[in-house]
Amino acid sequence: MNRCAVLQMASSPTIDANLCEAARLIGEAAKAGAGLVALPENFALMGEHEGSKVEVKEVDGAGPIQDFLARSAKKYGIWVIGGTIPLAGDDDRKVRAACLVYNDQGERVGRYDKIHLFDVNVPGSDEAYKESNSIEPGSTPVVLDTPFGRLGLSVCYDLRFPELYRKLAAQGAEILVVPSAFTAKTGAAHWEILLRARAIENLCYVLAPNQGGLHGNGRETFGHSMIIDPWGVVLDVKKTGAGFAVAGIDHEHLETVRAAFPALQHRRFSE
């Protein structure tokens, strides 16, 4: 089995401090035997306001956050999924929320731009979010080959849109990755339910690194970073605090479940 880890952080408005914390956790996960490590959404910056990410955006292919991810992957000889980082897009007033994947040589091998943007008022609270004020949405699902299986990439609010995961499954995804910054309120209500549903209905492993804790901007995130198998079993979870969950990806188990319960072959609607 190939062991994977999902990191949990409570990122601050200070990039250097966040990268130090991420470096510590990546090192600990690698020491625990993880060959793939996934960081949460906004791991390098949870800014004071939505526009903070625009102020520190990097051009595609160059910048301290991207350098950190490449360096970490190469240092430990592991694959690293870089949650999201703010990359320059077409609109100078906005960024792309880009999930970047690096191989064990430190080479970037994949990029997914978050498609669904979190423009909501959270019921029963005074929380309101408008990601479209500072983020340009992506439009293309991404699946890529790795030694751990075919990865289907997604980010946070994407989790509520099962049609995206059907497209990823149709492209051969075996592992769904969902780096997130789920709020405490929505997380308590829906986080595990939605993650397990995506695993079950697509017969995939799910890697779900999440932000977890109180942030400098007053936001509280849910934590409970977890790894789920294709039958919907939670293999490991980091409920609170900084740290990680780790578990193996068992391809024999994946193939057995899919062969015995071929739901993906029984679909009657392709869209």
Tell me the CB-side half-sphere exposure of residue 230, using CA atoms within 13 A.
Answer: 23
How confident is the model at residue 49, as a pLDDT?
A: 81
Which position among 4, 156, 192, 238 bears the catalytic label? 156
List, in sequence order, every residue forming a beta bridge with 65; answer none if it has no partner: none
What pTM, to 2 d.p., does this model score?
0.97
The verdict on whether 4 is a catalytic residue reads: no
Look at strands 220-222 and 243-249 and give their pairing: unpaired
Which two structure tokens, joined as six digits, stand for 239?
């409920």
Superfamily of domain 2-266 in CATH is: Carbon-nitrogen hydrolase (3.60.110.10)
**For the segment 12-21, what is each residue's pLDDT rounded down to a tens digit?**
999 999 999 9
Does position 154 have pLDDT exceeding 80, yes or no?
yes
How confident is the model at residue 47, as a pLDDT?
A: 84
φ, ψ at 154 (rounded to 5°): -155, 170
Alpha helices in the chain (DSSP H): 15-31, 52-55, 64-76, 162-170, 184-186, 192-202, 251-260
The verdict on whether 156 is a catalytic residue reads: yes
For a pLDDT cut of 90, what percent of the chain falls above it?
92
φ, ψ at 58 (rounded to 5°): -115, 155
Per-chain mean pLDDT for the chain? 96
The string over 118-148, giving b where at least 16 C-beta atoms fall within 10 Å of a residue's C-beta and e elsewhere, is: beeeeeeeebebebeebbbebeebbbbebeb
**For the segment 78-107, what is each residue's pLDDT rounded down to a tens digit?**
999 999 999 999 999 999 999 999 999 999
**For the segment 215-245, what is each residue's pLDDT rounded down to a tens digit?**
988 899 999 999 999 999 999 999 999 999 9
Which two structure tokens, joined as six digits, stand for 263?
């739901």
3-state secondary structure of 38: strand
Of residues 235 and 125, more confidence is placed in: 235
Which two structure tokens, joined as six digits, stand for 81?
């999924």
Strands (E), 185-241: 205-208, 212-214, 220-222, 225-228, 234-238
Helix or strand holding residue 75 (H, E): helix 64-76
Domain assignments of the chain as residue spans, ordered by start: 2-266
3-state secondary structure of 170: helix
How many whole angstroms separate alpha carbon 95 and alpha carbon 248?
Answer: 34
Which position among 53, 57, 94, 114 bears the catalytic label? 114
Asked whether the beta carbons of 227 and 205 are under 8 A apart, the reply is yes
Look at strands 175-177 and 205-208 and give their pairing: parallel
Q: What is the DSSP letter of 180?
A: B
Burial class (CB in 10 A: 0-12, 13-18, 19+), 163: exposed
How many whole angstroms separate alpha carbon 86 and alpha carbon 96?
Answer: 6
How many whole angstroms separate alpha carbon 99 and alpha carbon 113?
Answer: 6
Asked whether the beta carbons of 17 and 43 are under 8 A apart, the reply is no
